[in-house]
Amino acid sequence: MPSVETAPEQALEWVKQGKGAALATVIETWGSAPRRAGAQMVVSGTGDMMGSVSGGCVEGAVVVEAIEALEDGAPRMLEYGVSDGDAFAVGLACGGTIKILVEPVGASMPQATLEALVQARAGRKQAAYVVDTETWDRRLDHDGHTARFAKDRTGMEEDGKTFVAIHNPPLRLAIVGGVHIAQALVPMAKLAGYDPYIIDPREAFGSEARFPGERVINDWPDEALAEVGVDARTALVLLTHDPKLDDPALHIALSSEAFYIGALGSTRTHAKRVVRLEEAGFSPEQIARIKGPIGLDIGAASPPEIAVSILAQMVATLRQGA
């Protein structure tokens, strides 16, 4: 399974079980804070917890605050840092400061809002949970917040009172070509939070034996991609060296919102690819989206090293843009 945080889903499950739940969300960080804004932990009324807001430094203190919030129904704004004596008591000596919003579901965060958020996440629909920390008004947006959605950037707005928690669909990785690089890339990508699948009509390459437990589609790439869909949370990696397989996939990808498109091959191979795509009617701007040769130039030689260079380029493109 991809390493996607599931605190909203767990919170809703505990609420429906009658345990109650409070969501704790990192809303701001300064210095060497161990978790980024948006990291979440959920606490039940019986003291169960899942997730992390600090990597273990302040979770115990947050659990106590969350249970108290469930008892009185009021949200909490917590701040921990090295200058805070309470933070030293629970072990936050890493030099950072974090601000955490604790919301009991039902009394503070409406259960209907949580249900709508969980439904949006299940349907791969982007959602922004917006909280006014002065009035405690809340809403769920599916549009706007363009820059935040593009970079997964949860945080406070410039007004200092509005918190926006970005919930993007899980990242997906479509790999065309079940070659050795793909065998190395799949487990790395899963650790980084991607849901990978391998497309290869050649059953000798796209097989359960080569990718045990993974989703393998033995179909032509264009047909497979048209079936599963390619959206703005999808990275496409082409590893076959075969224009009969790579080019149809590129035709789908270049007409999509995929945030990353990479194709294996030398500079000469890529130049030939560009000519074929121009002849197929794609514009220079569209073709320029392709990372070719694929991966960051780190001198990678072996399949695992090439996989590292590809994953690093995917992250750079996602977080920093083209």
- Confidence band for 266, pLDDT divided at 50, 70 and 90: very high
pLDDT over threshold 60, residue 220: yes
Give percent helix, percent strand, percent coil of the chain, each to the nearest 5: 35, 25, 40
- Would the pLDDT of 83 be above 70? no
The pTM of the whole model exceeds 0.85: no
Please write the tens of the pLDDT for every residue from 179-203: 999 999 999 999 998 999 999 999 9
- What is the side-by-side order of every strand in the sheet holding 162-167? 138-141, 127-132, 162-167, 155-156
Give the per-residue pLDDT at 320: 82
More confidently predicted of 56 and 59: 59
**How would you class 243 by CB atoms within 10 Å of its CB: exposed for 0-12, middle for 13-18, buried for 19 or more?**
middle
Q: What is the mean pLDDT of the chain?
A: 90
pLDDT digits (tens, 9 = 90+) for 124-178: 899 999 999 999 999 999 999 988 887 788 999 999 999 999 998 889 999 999 9
Dihedral over Cα of 217, 222, 227, 231: its sign: positive
pLDDT tens digit string along 305-321? 999 999 999 999 988 87
Residue whose entry in the numeric block shows the structure tokens 């703005």:
232
The pLDDT of residue 322 is 57
Q: How confident is the model at residue 32 (pLDDT cuts 50, 70, 90)?
A: low
**Mean pLDDT calculated for residue range 71-79:** 93
Domains and CATH numbers, the chain: 7-167 (no CATH), 171-320 (3.40.50.720)
At residue 34 the predicted structure's pLDDT band, cuts being 50, 70 and 90, is low
Q: What is the pLDDT of residue 3?
A: 41
Are the beta carbons of 97 and 81 closer than 8 angstroms? yes
